[in-house]
Homo-oligomer: A and B are copies of this chain.
Amino acid sequence: MTIATTSDTPVVANLADMANAIRVLAMDAVEKAASGHPGMPMGMADVATVLFSRFLKFDPAEPEWPDRDRFVLSAGHGSMLLYALLHLTGYPGMTAAELARFRQWGALTAGHPEYGHTPGVETTTGPLGAGIATAVGMALAEEMQRARFGRGFADHHTYVIAGDGCLMEGISHEAISLAGHLRLSRLIVLFDDNGISIDGAVTLSCSDDQLARFRASNWSVEAIDGHDLAAIEAALVRARAGDRPSLIACRTVIGRGAPTKAGSAATHGAPLGAEEIAATREAFGWQAPPFVVPDHIKAAWAQVGRRGQAARAAWGRRLSSAPEAQRHAFLDSLSPLVPQAAFEALHLLRASFIAAGTKIATRQASQRAIAALLPVMPTLAGGSADLTHSNLTQGHGQPAVQPRDFAGSYIHFGIREHAMVSALNGMALHGGFVPYGGTFLVFADYCRPAIRLAALMGLRVILVMTHDSIGLGEDGPTHQPVEHLAAYRAIPNLLVLRPADAAETAECWAIALAEERRPSLLALSRQALPCLPHDPALSKAARGAYVLREAAGDRQLTLMASGSEVAIVLEAADALAAEGLRVAVVSIPCFERFAEQPAEYRAEVLGNAPRIGVEAAIESVEWRRLLGDGGIFIGMTSFGASAPAGVLYQEFGITAGAVIAAARRLVGGA
């Protein structure tokens, strides 16, 4: 087989040699780093070579070209496969020197592929199964984009390389089930079926019939020899023509080419060693030193790197010649900037809540925010993990995505929290959408690895987590988050927003939308919360914490709370003020934002008086920092229990009475 493009003089190159270039680069980089995974790149080099040279639509000159195919290395430990491909096809910065710096500080060649760090890496992978589930979101976003703008603007595929590990992880079930249900026909998974996992043969722990399993979830499936170049090509042709997602199980030999280690777990996660590398070179007839690729192979790969230029140019011409409104709508959808009208809608909503003194649950206020946004923000799309009527994530009349019908903007994710958030990540990575998704806060733990990846990648993903405390009542401790606020605040680069009433909820939605490089987790109440005494003219939640009510004179006490507990401290403040105490009340919808404020503002909010903090949750470090040694925290110290919410607040001692008692301990009093 030869590789040729129309725009160049054909270069006669042996695809097998091109694949061996990947193998040699991978084994040499791992050897030099004395760390890494040569087995997978060597095993999947043939598949990747056929995919990149014959099918993948991409242009290294413009890694962000919106209509490129997405390539997801779900088996992220095989990062050298991807880095070798990026190098060989000419991605910016991916020089031989960077390959030689594999896994070193600051190198583009991190241990696992990192989105935002290395051009050409479509998503951060490594945590197994994450890639395939993220790819589902990319494929979904492509379908939704095509449904909105047409094939002229969006006409690409999502390819995934996944290993046994990805398919054994539970998230893979959620992902393939969702993709099969929606019939995401542009999603093609290449399964590196090498029969080896870290412990040894896959048969040590798994006997699944993967083809039957994917078929049961409505996928097209076939198995091929992953080293038969013609078979790979034929299977990809069939997969692209199908009307449902496709699994191609590629039977491969891990570490293919290493004379004594190929086929064994020894190649999975450790350097091959100098001797084996020399023998592999000999077997390949490979004379070149490490990180040098013979010219004819280099030239062939360079041609592969130029394959997409014409398609990108044609796409650009279609965009330029499109009707102005359509072109603008398309480009606006890709802009990180949320339209000003969205913020205006939220501002109006806030004002209406304050004017009406609206007493509703913050999850209800969130639904009103979604409803207000949808008409002015066509990129807003999201759903719930089968808790639509509890999370209140669907705007009135918001049409749902259906199998093969992607015009809607609401997604019934099913009871698949992990795949949901991974898909939201994929939608954010793909571009064109600001995705959101809901479940109960306690079940954020089911998708915690995906939330972590959203934070690590810096994606604007909005998590609508309702039933945020013991305030959910009777469902009991399995459903009551107590440690979750602390546990999610601990994740770097994630905003945890816990609004105290309807007005703050509208503000928190605005904060989340304005955060272009951070995910936001909205912790929302099941129960109704009274309207707080806001300044209608001044929106303050964006500062993270603010004085909701200043003391009448020099402060003797500062009461602080978040979410549903702000009303409790207000009640206590009233009682204490009636006793003549000068009490200020601070609402803290977002600790992360408050920590970023200037020191003067922080000092002004915190004051110098003793402090009491109230949150129906395990104390988080952010509280202890604000309260200081002398401050008192009133919250949870154990799991919750099953009973009506009011009873639980009493039994666990999170009441105005408890606040008043603590205040008396701190500052004396009546």
Chain A interface (Cβ < 8 Å from any Cβ of B): 33, 35-36, 76, 103-107, 110-112, 114, 124-128, 164-165, 168-174, 177-178, 180-181, 197-199, 204-210, 212-213, 215-218, 384, 386-390, 400, 403, 412-419, 442-443, 445-446, 448-449, 452-453, 455-456, 473-479, 482-483, 486-487, 490-493, 618-621, 623-625, 628-629, 637-639, 641-644, 647-648, 651
- Give the complex CA separation of A637 and B212 in angstroms: 46
Pairwise interchain contact B386-A198, C-beta atoms closer than 8 A: yes
Set of chain B residues within 8 Å of A390, measured between Cβ atoms: 198
**Contact across chains for B618 and A619 when beta carbons are under 8 A apart:** no
Closest to A183 in B: B207
A474, B209: Cβ atoms closer than 8 Å = no
The one of B207, B415, B478 that contacts A125, using a Cβ cutoff of 8 Å = B478
Across the interface, A112 reaches (CB within 8 A) one of B76, B216, B448, B475, namely B475
13 contacts between A and B (CB under 8 A): A33-B474, A35-B644, A105-B641, A124-B478, A126-B479, A127-B443, A164-B415, A170-B416, A170-B418, A181-B207, A197-B415, A198-B386, A456-B478
Contact partner of A493 among B76, B104, B207, B639, CB < 8 A?
A: B639
- Bound complex: CA of A492 vs CA of B617, how far in Å? 11
8 other A-B residue contacts (CB within 8 Å) besides A448-B448, A455-B639: A103-B642, A165-B386, A168-B414, A170-B172, A199-B388, A213-B217, A216-B216, A486-B490
Q: What CA separation (Å) do A390 and B124 show in the bound complex?
A: 23
When the two chains form the complex, which single residue of B124, B412, B638 contacts A199, counting CB atoms closer than 8 Å? B412
A624 proximity list for chain B (CB < 8 A):
621, 624-625
Given that A35-B473, A173-B172, A474-B103 are known contacts, is A218 also in contact with B212, CB under 8 Å in the complex?
A: no
Copies of the polypeptide in the assembly: 2
Residues of chain B lying within 8 A (CB to CB) of residue A478: 76, 111-112, 114, 124-127, 453, 456
Asked whether A112 and B412 contact (CB < 8 A) given A168-B174, A181-B205, the answer is no
Contact A111 B475 (CB under 8 A): yes
A196 to chain B, nearest CB (A): 11
Residues on the B chain within 8 Å of A33, using CB = 474
Closest to A125 in B: B478
Q: Output the nearest chain B residue to A482 by Cβ-Cβ distance.
A: B492
What is the bound-complex CA distance between A389 and B492, given in angstroms?
A: 30
**B residues near A477, Cβ cutoff 8 Å:** 114, 456
Cβ-defined contact, A207 with B403, below 8 A: yes
Q: Identify the closest chain B residue to A384 (Cβ).
A: B199
CB A206 to nearest CB in B, in angstroms, measures 5
Minimum CB–CB distance for A360 against chain B, Å = 19
For residue A173, which residues in chain B have a CB less than 8 angstroms away from its CB? 170, 172-173
A105 partner, pick from B127, B455, B623, B651, beta carbons under 8 A: B651
User: Are B169 and A446 in contact (CB-based, < 8 A)?
Assistant: yes
5 A-B pairs with least C-beta separation: A170-B170, A205-B414, A173-B173, A126-B478, A212-B216
Question: Which residues of the partner chain B approach A474 to less than 8 Å between Cβ atoms?
Answer: 33, 35-36, 103, 111
CA distance A386 to B168 in the complex (A): 10
Shortest distance between the CB of A627 and any CB in chain B (Å): 10
Distance between Cα atoms of A402 and B427 in the complex (Å):
41
Report how far A213 CA is from B180 CA in the complex, Å. Answer: 13
**Which residue of chain B lies nearest to A387 when distances are taken between CB atoms in the complex?**
B198
How close is A468's CB to chain B, nearest CB, in angstroms? 15
Closest to A638 in B: B492
With A474-B103, A476-B114 known to touch, is A486 a contact of B486 (CB < 8 Å)? Answer: yes
Partner of A414, one of B197, B412, B491, B619: B197
Chain B proximity of A345: nearest CB distance (Å) = 26
Interfacial chain B residues near A103, Cβ < 8 Å: 474, 476, 642-644
Contact B486 A643 (CB under 8 A): no
Cβ contact of A449, chosen from B106, B446, B629, B639, cutoff 8 A: B446
Contact B492 A639 (CB under 8 A): yes
CB distance from A415 to the nearest CB of B (A): 4
Shortest CB distance A285–B (Å): 31
For the complex, what is the distance from the CA of A642 to the CA of B628, rounded to whole Å?
A: 35
User: Taking the nearest CB of chain B, how far is it from the CB of A649, in angstroms?
Assistant: 11
A523 → chain B closest CB, angstroms: 14
Residue of B nearest to A628 (CB): B629
The residues of B that contact A449 with a CB separation of less than 8 Å are 443, 445-446
Q: Which residue of B lies closest to A213 (CB)?
A: B216
CA distance A629 to B455 in the complex (A): 29
Across the interface, name the chain B residue whose C-beta is closest to A203: B181
Instruction: Please give the distance in Å from A127's CB to the nearest CB on chain B.
Output: 6
Contacts A412-B199, A446-B169 given: A216-B205 contact, CB under 8 Å? no
Chain B residues contacting A644 (CB-CB under 8 Å) are 35, 103-105
Contact at A388–B36, with CB atoms within 8 Å?
Answer: no
Whether the Cβ atoms of B452 and A110 lie closer than 8 Å is no
Q: How far is the CA of A390 from the CA of B623 in the complex (A)?
A: 37
